[in-house]
Amino acid sequence: MRSSSRGRIEIDGQRGSEFARLYEAVVTPETAAHVLSTAVDWSDVIIVRLAFVDDLGNVYTSRWDTRLPSPPLIIAVTPDSGGVGTEVTINGENFGCHGCGAEVTAVRFNGVLADFHVDSPTQITATVPAGATSGPVSVQAPGGTGQSDEPFTVLP
């Protein structure tokens, strides 16, 4: 079945616990590269739903959340000491998932960037990098940066 060439764009937004229509417009082949024709107040919108409804009734939607996830929380770093090249397990919360778009973007040993892999939303495996010195381990993600309470000791 073929889709039509006319349709309607709908943008709904959640403010608090309420969803409301923020914008609606007719789309034709001449307006395929659509630009909003009226201003939309995005200041307190936390979830956005964009829909295109063609004149055959087919609905195509996309939804996204404008809120950032919680920052990473480091609960434990094991072992708590080791030399360059030591594999370290970081346990905590809010590490996202590998490839999901909200995952950890950097792991540092006292500010020195390390190679790492997000094993799960609660575990990261990292390698102590060359140039690292004793100090906190930090995990950076879209929601912020978490830092270990106890320092990691880099051994010679």
Q: Based on the fold, state whether residues 99 and 129 are members of the same structural domain.
A: yes
- Position 3 scores a pLDDT of 46
Q: Give the pLDDT band (50/70/90) at residue 37.
A: low
Domain ranges, residue 104 = 73-154
Q: Give the pLDDT band (50/70/90) at residue 105.
A: very high
Mean pLDDT of all residues in 102-116: 93
Mean pLDDT of all residues in 76-104: 88
Question: Could you tell me if residue 145 is inside a domain?
Answer: yes
- Which of 98-107, 113-122, 129-138 has the weakest average pLDDT? 98-107
Q: Which residues contact 132 (CB under 8 A, 6 or more apart)?
A: 84, 109, 110, 112, 114, 154
Q: Based on the fold, state whether residues 11 and 56 are members of the same structural domain.
A: yes
* pLDDT at residue 100 is higher than 90: no
CA count, 13 A, side-chain hemisphere, 27:
18
Higher-confidence residue: 89 or 47? 89
Measured between alpha carbons, how far is residue 149 from residues 6, 37, 92, 97, 138 in Å?
Answer: 58, 51, 12, 23, 10
Question: Could you tell me if residue 93 is inside a domain?
Answer: yes
Q: Based on the fold, state whether residues 61 and 77 are members of the same structural domain.
A: no
Sign of CA dihedral 118, 120, 121, 122: negative
- Position 2 scores a pLDDT of 45
